[in-house]
Structure 1
Amino acid sequence: MVILNTVTTIKNSTTIAIGGFDGMHIGHQALFNELGENGTIVVIETGYANLTPKRCREKFTNKNIIYLELESIRHLDGVGFMKLLNEKFVDLEKIVVGYDFHFGKDRRYSYVDLTELFDGEVVVVDEVTHKNDSVHSHKIRAKLQIGDIKSANEFLGHNYTIIGKHIRGQGIGAKELVATINVQATEFLMPKEGVYATLTRINDEEHFHPSVSFVGHRVTTDGSFAIETHILDGEVTCKERVEISFVAYIRGNEKFDSLEELKKMIQKDIAKASKELKFLQL
């Protein structure tokens, strides 16, 4: 990961798109489409990204990404910010921003100021809408938190995906219920507690496995928070890095009177997940 303020110059990059780009959603992609062959994405990293934290943004573009830490630039006025960009991008000819882009100290400068401060071309991308609703990262977060995965995915232009490491679980699943892979993914926003049809990739496998996943507190057993995924097409060994891609919301988190009742519901969850995933290209 390249942090812009720690490098001397970035050469051969004639166009940059600037923004926070958490989610890399369809609105962001509209900016990236303006970059051309020698374009670079400049991420202003606030530290609060939780849809695509840190380098996870790189999964959703083939463009080069440079990261600019907000703490290192938040004191700059408009002139200072533009000077930084010109110093770092020595071949800069075009800057692409969204209609709501703001920069500089206290976010007091907008794209209007950018057009006055920059000698090259400034492209301002208009608001992107989907089904007559403007696309923003905060709306995607809101959809995830109510379990509206399909609408969130439409705004994203891809399935919402979390990445984490395999951790030891309770040990109940394989013995009493179904075998699950337990995941820790603390940097990501968790969707609404419940059960989901998902696609799961282990380590750096080329393909995703159809799966059913649970996110939430284990209210039937120990009450602890868990992310668990059950692979539908066979058992998986050698689990370190786990990637879960959410396809559809199946049901909310429920408390059951016995493990036997929970097991029966899990079998229903598996059937619903299998139906949701049946026609996907895996």
Structure 2
Amino acid sequence: MPPRFTIIRDTTPAAAIPKGSVVAMGNFDGVHLGHRAVIEAALAMSRSRGKPAFAVTFEPHPRKFFSPNTPQFRLTDETSKLRLLAGAGLAGAVVMTFDTARAGTTAQDFIHHDLIARLDVSGIAVGYDFHFGKGRVGSPSLLLSEATRLGIEVDVRPPVDIDERPVSSSAIRMALAEGQIADATAMLGGPWFVTGEVIHGEKRGRHLGYPTANIRLDKDCGLKHGIYAVRVGLGQGKDHRRFDGVASFGRRPTFDNGAPLLEVFLFDFKGDLYGTVLDVAFIGFIRDELKFDSIDALIRQMDDDSARARTQLAAAPDAFPNLGVIE
């Protein structure tokens, strides 16, 4: 069995926190290639020092704290982020609550109280654009001057580019909003995925010959409405199973134009999925969401969508998010 992924929170007793660990710091929304460069730097330091490597991250996302009424399209919720961090080979994650007290903590206090006194870190890896502390005045240069003076190694990672375009969470959100799945996949280093419990729907799909697993995504999800080729993960660890499929995300304009819903049809699957939790990885965009004049026209299009999804999936790398198990 892989080592247990340890989650340290503000309430974790100091005695339970490993001493001398190395940390990779960031919000890590999406755990994209830029984040992975920071994680790899922390892992390299941890190996050279013989100490565990942890991610230090913040929940809720600071943007949500400062602008609670502004829609925030998160690439990964807290659980999904932690599963990706576990899959990246880290020993665990330090999840710091981002609240009024945290927002008011000065950069100096964050370094000396949170990182040194509480976590007792021996090494720190951050991205070139990581800022922290009250007013975001904390910077990689401040970390370098303060931590290095105290004998703590600091590795500041430069930006990661693809075809001279910087990788960032905002660029990935924009790609997903435009249905540019290949671009999002390249920046993430693997397919973007969502996780959700299968709920009861109107059960129209079974009458159309396409019974779907329906999942309600976060209301702020900014994924382009349309039809996608997907890979679906069911279960974890040794019980994990994977299926190819086709999915629709949108408002079902042919029927009710209701709240956005993800409807997934799993190829070559028989069984009851209600109440189960699925991981749905987006492999390719097929078409925009459309309104049809007849059910027959819709079924013909669904047949074509399924054929196109199978073709895309057969041509795509056999990739799925590397998700670790968290407790």
TM-score (normalised: structure 2)? 0.81
Give the equivalent residue in structure 2 for 1:233: 268
After superposition, where does 1:213-252 map in structure 2 within 5 Å?
213-224=247-258, 225-239=260-274, 240-252=276-288
What SS does the aligned partner of 2:96 have? strand
Residue 112 (structure 1) shift: 1.2
AA paired with 1:121?
Answer: E
1:163-221 residue CA offsets vs partner (Å, 9 max, x unmatched)? 01111111111013411111123277341000000011234452320000000010000
Q: 1:188 to 1:199 in 2, by over 3 A?
A: farther
* 1:54 counterpart residue number: 78
- 1:95-114 matches, within 5 Å, as 95-114=124-143
- Residue 260 of structure 1: aligned partner: 296
Find the aligned partners of 2:110 and 2:186 in 1 and give their Cα distance. Answer: 34
Tell me the distance in 2 between the aligned counterparts of 1:112 and 1:244: 39
Distance in 1 between residues matched to 2:116 and 2:188, nearest whole Å: 31
Which protein, 1 or 2, shows the higher relative CO under an 8 Å CA cutoff with sep ≥ 6? 2
Distance in 2, matches of 1:122 and 1:171, equals: 55
What amino acid sits opposite 2:80 in the alignment?
C
Root-mean-square deviation over aligned CA pairs: 1.8
| Alpha carbons 2:198, 2:273 under 8 Å: kept | no
Tell me if the contact between 1:183 and 1:227 (Cα under 8 Å) persists in the aligned partners: yes
Q: Partners in 1 of 2:89 and 2:219 — Cα distance?
A: 23
1:7 corresponding residue in structure 2? 12
Letter in 2 for 1:236: G
Sequence identity, in percent? 26
Bigger mean CA deviation after superposition, 79-88 or 44-53: 44-53
Q: Which runs of 5+ in 2 are unaligned?
A: 1-5, 65-72, 320-327
1:34 and 2:41 correspond: yes
1:45 alignment partner in structure 2: 59
The answer to whether the 8 Å contact 2:74/2:221 transfers is yes
The AA in structure 1 aligned to 2:83 is K
Measured in 1, the distance between the counterparts of 2:82 and 2:132 equals 23
1:129 equivalent to 2:158? Answer no
Task: Tell me the TM-score normalized by structure 1.
Answer: 0.94
Q: Deviations over 1:11-34 (max 9, x none)?
A: 144211111000000000000111
Question: What is the identity, as a one-letter code, of the residue corresponding to 1:44?
Answer: F
- Larger fraction in helix: 2
Summarize the Cα distance change of 1:134–1:150 in structure 2 as closer, same or farther, 3 Å threshold. same
Unaligned runs of 5+ in 1: none
Q: Is the CA contact (8 Å cut-off) linking 1:18 and 1:41 kept in structure 2?
A: yes
Q: Which amino acid aligns with 2:58?
A: I
98, 103, 124: which is aligned to 1:70? Answer: 98
- Normalized per residue, the structure richer in strand is 1
The match for 2:186 is 154
How many residue pairs match? The answer is 281
Matches within 5 A, 1:154-193: 154-186=186-218, 189-193=221-225
Q: What amino acid maps onto 1:135 in structure 2?
A: V
CA distance in 1, matches of 2:58, 2:155: 18
**Partner-residue secondary structure (3-state), 1:33:** helix
SS of aligned partner of 2:10: helix
Shift, 1:151, TM fit: 0.5
